[in-house]
Structure 1
Amino acid sequence: MGWEVWETEQAKHAETLVKKALMNEKIQGAPLVLHSDNGSPMKAETFQRLLEKLGIQRSYSRPRVSNDHPYSEAIFRTLKYKPNYPH
Structure 2
Amino acid sequence: MLATLENLGIVASFRRPRVSNDNPFAESLFRTCKYRPDYSRRPFGSINEARAWTQQFARWYNHEHKHSGLKFVTPAQRQNGVAAAVLAQREAVYAEARQRNPRRWSQSTRDWELTDEVWLNPERMQPEELKQVA
TM bracket (short chain) = under 0.3
TM-score, length of structure 1 as denominator length: 0.27
* Higher RCO, Cα 8 Å, sep 6+: 1
Q: Of Structure 1 and Structure 2, which has the larger fraction of its residues in strand?
A: 1
Q: Of Structure 1 and Structure 2, which has the larger fraction of its residues in helix?
A: 2
